[in-house]
Structure 1
């Protein structure tokens, strides 16, 4: 969509704006979570004037361009569209109608009719159970790019957030997802977040090779979603039509909670955390920037310097041996837990198997892993090997 917009912009700015309008409503219709409030609020943000609707079943919604609900009847309808025998949508633009108001109303009416299954009256939506997780919704990539841009003004980023159905005044965090190269990272991210069942507003799109996820919990003091994401990686059966091997290829980086207008800072943290993540073990597959603490500063060291460390090269040589990936996983689990049995339980291996693999590591690198100092060196070498692979 972004490429199409750029090509159209070069030919006709009006055509590009029209495509943006259509893309906005198509994203809403494809989200699977459209309701009267989100439709009216997002339309008002898109049109930059008050917008409202009345559905045949009696539901009404009216919002200003800043995202605030407006009480009462519309003061001055500049243009409207009927939904059938009853029901309507409208804009309240001061002065003459805008050049795209007719197109906006046409698509707003289409979206409103889907809320009722067509021109016939529909029943009110079932009440949402408190604590019920929200499903991840597909986001317009152009809007996500605006939210993460350093060049755009706060006003434009706030407007993009509102169009995505988010509150600019509430904090949020970003999550970066990488899967197999041949798999759409956006689809991987949607499947993962669907299984995680976060109690938050979740928007997902693809940015280059990454699945780009925006998570805005209703509670500003909400904990990190990393544990729920690890559970989702560990049990891909929680979601329909998700292959177990696809889940095992996932790597996830979780950024910190930041003000909504500083989402790009959380995205940078998520990408940094992603460099520490290792596909396979659920515990290692999801890296949380906040949990990394000062270890995250290692990512500032040039990758080529880290890759050139003798210990990192020795770990590469171990990994290249038969079942070397299990040897590296055993080392990582033991360094993290400090317990042979905990490492074995995490890897679903017998503790004697883990002990044998650790003995092989000690013989190859001259470490005594029961010694905390040697174990610390081993952990740093593991980080250096991961970060030496380069950008996420």
Structure 2
């Protein structure tokens, strides 16, 4: 690629070019309008010529030109066929401009984007980590959010009427800014009253729910990602009203996962080769998931009796399943760090069962 010094003086920077084309797609555009605005941006004639000889070309003042690229123009191919050109010497900025122009032309011609109806919902753009800064800014404006406004994200799934009831319950505590659906899960954007947890009376039976860390609106993707991590560890609510024991995994807070969130970045294939995860899987398959709940209670308390009290079973039952697990795992859980190891493997098993999360 040629050095940027070969570009004409006064050309926009790479970031300004990206922002321009993102803005065209966000606002909804047509081929004619795109070419006209692009020519005005760089102060040079710009054109799009299709394989059938048709297209659009404009000078910097909006005048109509032949779609045939003039001699000396810089060109680039388009995925839908034909080419785009700019009447400017080849340079890194001109090449970057044409790359973005070609991509935008492809989107416009392939999907017929024209008008605001083609734009992704603001909440989708706001929470998407891959959204550009201009897309994020547009989304915040549409949702009535300032950069520093505090937001949190909740993710839930379950029977539709119960999910709706749960969202309404959240709305009684914090304002619901917007909601959307991703992979059969409801994603809710909330205006956080403060950085503390959301105090709700309970989660409807069968609803699986979690929320992320409270952040400023300009960092909203972080709120979504931490909610998604917490959701992967969450379990369906066993009853409508709290309090819930920690081992129940109800209404988890992504801000409290700390280093456990890193486990969510592991591929399922990386998890399933861990011998301890396989052993836990055999126990669950042969005897039921409730066995793993007993083991988790034991791994997170300092005695068999405390574990039994937490999940409301006799301590002899916990003792039996701990011994059974030791036989499957091949080591004693009284050895140093073994209970911590068990807890991590229980977390890995839950992620493996979740198979991809939100």
TM over 0.5: yes
Contact 2:152 2:223 in 1 (8 A): yes
Out of 164-173 and 293-302, give the one that drifted further: 164-173
Q: Give the structure 1 partner of residue 229 of structure 2.
A: 272
Shift of 1:197: 6.8
Cα distance between partner residues in 2 of 1:270 and 1:325: 24
Equivalent in 93, 118, 127 of residue 148 of structure 1: 127
Contact 1:258 1:265 in 2 (8 A): yes
Q: Give the structure 1 partner of residue 295 of structure 2.
A: 331
Q: What secondary structure does 2:181 align onto?
A: strand
Instruction: Sort the Cα spacing of 1:257 and 1:269 in 2 relative to 1 into closer, same or farther, 3 A.
Output: same
Shift of 1:378: 0.6
Given the alignment of the two structures, is residue 213 of structure 1 paired with residue 188 of structure 2, yes or no?
Answer: yes
Contact 2:192 2:214 in 1 (8 A): no
Equivalent in 204, 215, 224 of residue 197 of structure 2: 224
Contact 1:334 1:340 in 2 (8 A): yes
Shift of 1:211: 1.1
Cα distance between partner residues in 2 of 1:386 and 1:163: 37
Contact 1:205 1:213 in 2 (8 A): yes
Given the alignment of the two structures, is residue 391 of structure 1 paired with residue 356 of structure 2, yes or no?
Answer: yes
Equivalent in 257, 260, 273 of residue 295 of structure 1: 260
Structure 1 unaligned blocks of 5 or more: 1-8, 12-99, 101-140, 237-243
Instruction: Sort the Cα spacing of 1:175 and 1:313 in 2 relative to 1 into closer, same or farther, 3 A.
Output: same
Cα distance between partner residues in 2 of 1:316 and 1:151: 35
How many pairs are equivalent? 236
Q: What secondary structure does 1:388 align onto?
A: helix
TM-score normalised by length of structure 2:
0.56
Q: Give the structure 2 partner of residue 23 of structure 1.
A: none
Cα distance between partner residues in 1 of 2:221 and 2:273: 31
Structure 2 unaligned blocks of 5 or more: 1-27, 31-114, 239-243
Cα distance between partner residues in 1 of 2:336 and 2:174: 40
TM-score normalised by length of structure 1:
0.52
Cα distance between partner residues in 2 of 1:198 and 1:362: 47
Cα distance between partner residues in 1 of 2:309 and 2:170: 23
Equivalent in 333, 344, 350 of residue 380 of structure 1: 344
Instruction: Sort the Cα spacing of 1:151 and 1:195 in 2 relative to 1 into closer, same or farther, 3 A.
Output: closer
Given the alignment of the two structures, is residue 255 of structure 1 paired with residue 212 of structure 2, yes or no?
Answer: yes
Q: What secondary structure does 2:148 align onto?
A: coil
